[in-house]
Amino acid sequence: MTTLGVTRTTLLKDLRMEWRSKDAINSMLFFALLVVVIFSFAFNPTAEESRRIAGGLIWVAFLFAAVVALNQTWARELRNQVLDAYRVSPAPPNALFLAKAIGNFFFVVVLEALMAPLFVVFYDLRSVGPVWQLIVVALLGTWALVVNGTFFAALSIRTRSREIMLPLILFPISIPALLAMVDATTSILTGEASPDFWIKMLAVYDVVFTAVCLLLFESVLNAE
């Protein structure tokens, strides 16, 4: 039984279940939409201003929306205690983690792709710097949020106040990643600075925390 094989079947199973219920993606989309609209009339920025603040707005909106999706991830495994069935099987624990993280990454990337046009509409956003850099930042940044988010969601489902626990433990750890995402995005949008350092930092953050997650997930999964 390979990690890759189990990751693949688990991922496909999750995508199929999400396709049938659309719980996570719908609530996430609507939530992000609300945040965008509220920010838009709260700040009511001009095109020039919005370039400066959009980095922050975009990522705060995505961060909140991602938390909504992350909380759903493990809720499905807890219903009927299906997680026990995985735990008694010889399948490697990290395969489950990778499948969940990749699934969440996919959902959040889809969300970002759908929301991007809205930012253009509401904030009259045009990038001065190259768009491909924005995409690189989005992919690296999303993985940074999602890999730790998936892990911490697995922590927080074991606690008393599940839903509220996730942001409480995820946000402090994610501060450097958020800083990198916001600053890199602003640098690219305004074209005033190079985002190279931030992109490298996000890559380092991704590698380090993916390793830590894979190292510790088995202990957390079997904590009882």
Closest CA to 33 of 118, 125, 141: 118
- Whole-angstrom distance, CA of residue 8 vs CA of residue 120: 35
Cβ proximity to another protein: between 48 and 90 the closer is 90
Strands (E), 100-152: none
Cβ contact 100:147 at 8 Å: no
> Interface residues for another protein in 154-183 (CB under 8 A)?
155-156, 158-161, 165, 168-169, 171-173, 175-176, 179-180, 183
Residue 119 beta carbon to another protein: minimum distance, rounded to whole angstroms: 23
Contacts of 84 (CB under 8 A, 6+ apart): none
C-alpha pair distances (Å), 59 with each of 9, 75, 193: 31, 25, 19
> Interface residues for another protein in 88-107 (CB under 8 A)?
88-91
Q: Is 122 in the site for another protein (CB under 8 A)?
A: no
- Whole-angstrom distance, CA of residue 31 vs CA of residue 42: 16
Residue 87 beta carbon to another protein: minimum distance, rounded to whole angstroms: 6
Applying CB under 8 A, the residues found at the interface with another protein are: 1, 5-6, 9-10, 13, 16-17, 20-21, 76, 79-82, 84-91, 148, 151-152, 155-156, 158-161, 165, 168-169, 171-173, 175-176, 179-180, 183, 193, 197-198, 201, 204-205, 208-209, 212, 216, 219-220, 222-224
